[in-house]
Homo-oligomer: A and B are copies of this chain.
């Protein structure tokens, strides 16, 4: 099932069916059980993962074994440790499944080959990363300039689907709070209504 991948691809860069077939050759399907890793810190990130189904997260673990959520990805989105993927240096992130998931992997060799042979793939990647960059800049701006309650509201408004599927303590981490603080923020917001 590659439907979602090519739907998203075509939204960015329209493909002929021949081009689509050609690119399909480079995609590796992979199923993941809940809690299964697709990448562990220290390993080299070997692929970009497109999520056809399910939910994943990227996170780090600090000295005090606190987890910090870097990114969520659900159907239609892409997740990777880009730095590790592009440089072949050890990854600083862990990526695992929050639900059983079906992925399409673009391995490094597939990526390089596609970049070389398929200009539309280069454009797709450029647009993908540009979108990711803009989203990240927004997130950082919120994080620097907004108080906890607004960060949370903005998160639920921007990603209502994710907000309902992932545990609350991970959302807390994503917006830079402890679980306890988020719990209290939510309570206060409920009281104010």
Contacts and interface: CB of A to CB of B under 8 A. Distances in A.
A126 B83 CA distance: 14
Contacts of A68: 141, 144-145
Interface stretch (A129-137, A162-170, A179-187): A129-137
Contacts of A66: 145
A143 B143 contact: yes
A133 B173 contact: no
Interface string A79-123: 000110010000010000000000000000000000000010011
A103 to B, nearest CB: 21
Contact of A123 (B83, B122, B129): B122
Interface in A21-60: 60
A139 interface: yes
A62 interface: yes
Contacts of A136: 133, 136-137, 140
A176 interface: yes
A125 interface: yes
Give the 5 A-B residue pairs with the shortest CB-CB distance, closest first.
Answer: A68-B145, A133-B133, A126-B126, A144-B176, A83-B134
